Amino acid sequence: MASPQVHRNVTQWNVNAMTKMLDEAIKKVRELPDSVQDEAAEMLFSVAAKQGEPIMLDEETRAAVQEGRAQARRGEVVSEENMQAFFERHGVKR
């Protein structure tokens, strides 16, 4: 196991290696409620996972993904107006 000093240096290097855009996004996410921060973290984990091993989904998540795909095949999609309202509520600039 790495010593605390080594771990601290590695962590510092990772923070410094972030792009400015990612750093700004994380600053904004820190201002959000905990539940939204957790959602953002899940998205980041998902992106990071694409660089490594596949993610194993639990049955509930797998069912939700399958239902979402089925809805898309049936053409059941969210309107542009609803998506715009969602983005505005969450401060997303498009």
Number of H helices, E strands in the chain: 5, 0
Torsion sign across C-alpha atoms 9, 14, 19, 20: negative
> Cα(40)–Cα(54) distance, rounded to whole angstroms?
19
**What pLDDT score does 81 carry?**
92
Q: Is the pTM of this model over 0.75?
A: no
> Cα(40)–Cα(27) distance, rounded to whole angstroms?
12
**What pLDDT score does 17 carry?**
63
Q: What is the CA radius of gyration of the chain?
A: 18
Could you list the pLDDT tens digit for every one of the 94 residues in the chain? 343 444 444 444 444 567 888 889 999 999 999 989 999 998 888 888 777 677 788 999 999 999 999 999 999 988 899 989 988 898 887 7
Cα-based angle 18, 22, 24 (whole degrees, multiple of 5): 115
